[in-house]
Amino acid sequence: MIITITGSLGSGKSTIGKILADKLNYKYISGGDIFRKIAEERGVDINKINNEAENNKEVDRLIDEYLEELNEEDKLVIDSRMAWYFIDKSVKIYLFTDVQTAVERISNSNRITEGNLFDREELKLKVQDRRKSEVKRFRKIYGIDIENKENYDLLMSTGNLEPLEIVDKILEYLKDK
């Protein structure tokens, strides 16, 4: 089984993906880490590379090609914006939270590529801009709406739950799969 996790910024995708992979003894793959690595290699922050990707398909193509190669694998948890789209037989999970919770989580994550983690208002604007950029980019490149909940098998709000509670709910859902 391949499990793909996507959703809103700061919803806990990476945290949940890592815990879930560990509990299932699956391999964990992070699209965010790949994206941040591309940004770092180019000497820009994550928002700049995200905006660049709106007009340069090369950035997404690098990740897409990698994801497409994973279709034949098994026992994977993939945290990625588009893995659900490229991994045909995956269980597709969408996590979401409110923007204030997202800002707090990102601020506490020490992900310096996100910008100034101490200015919550600036970070909030960057989170909102990044999401708008992603929605626009994926609609333009793939003709899809990543916020259309019908694309996913399981939708979960993560704002009021601890990571282990979320993972337990996902494991309960997966029992039937």
- C-alpha separations of 21 from 35, 76, 177 in Å: 20, 7, 16
Residue 101 CA to its chain's centroid (Å): 16
List the end-to-end C-alpha distance of the chain, in Å, as a whole number: 9
pLDDT tens-place string over residues 125-172: 888 888 888 888 889 889 999 999 999 999 999 988 899 999 999 999
- Pick the residue with more confidence: 48 or 118? 48
pLDDT exceeds 50 at position 113:
no
Share of the chain above pLDDT 90, in %: 41
Strand order in the sheet with 76-79: 27-30, 76-79, 2-7, 91-96, 154-157
Share of the chain above pLDDT 70, in %: 93
pLDDT band at 59, cuts 50/70/90? Answer: confident
Q: Which domains does the chain have, with CATH numbers?
A: 2-160 (3.40.50.300)
pLDDT of residue 130: 81
Whether the predicted model's global pTM rises above the 0.85 cut: no
42-52: average pLDDT: 79
User: Any idea which of 46-60, 100-114, 140-154 has the lowest mean pLDDT?
Assistant: 100-114
